[in-house]
Amino acid sequence: MKRKDLIFGLSVAESMPSTAVTGGEFGTGIDSLNTYASKHIVLAGAVGTDIIFKLQESADDSVYTDVPGSQMIGGVNSFTILATGGDNTATQAGGFNLQRYSRIAVVSGAGTISAVSEVADNLSV
């Protein structure tokens, strides 16, 4: 269930419940229809080996592709939670002008993570 902040135009939703990952896991597609930007915050619990994840987008919530770096806030679409010092940390990935749906894709690594997303109605870059 999305929660909406009516003052700042932010909606927040869970995109990945707490789960053990080993690579190849995907978060739930977050609907960002009529919004400008989407940010996913990945929360790490116990990290066994470096966890690498990307942000993906889809027009129909079925076929996903990696978001191009030119649409990423920060210009790059690969994020690493380090095994050394990565326990109990948060990492965020954000993009703008995305297709309707976005999600987190775990590329590799091992540990326990969860993710939440925020979509913004009225941000500008």
Q: Which residues share a beta bridge with 114?
A: 43
Structural domains in the chain, CATH included, are 3-120 (2.60.120.1110)
| pLDDT one-digit tens code per residue, 37-55 | 888 889 999 999 999 999 9
The larger pLDDT score, comparing residue 27 to residue 4, is at 27
**Residue 125 and residue 116: Cα distance in Å, rounded?**
21
Three-state DSSP class for 26? Answer: strand
| pLDDT one-digit tens code per residue, 93-124 | 999 889 999 999 999 999 999 988 877 665 44
Quick one: tokens of 15? 């995109």
Q: What's this model's pTM, rounded to 2 decimal places?
A: 0.85
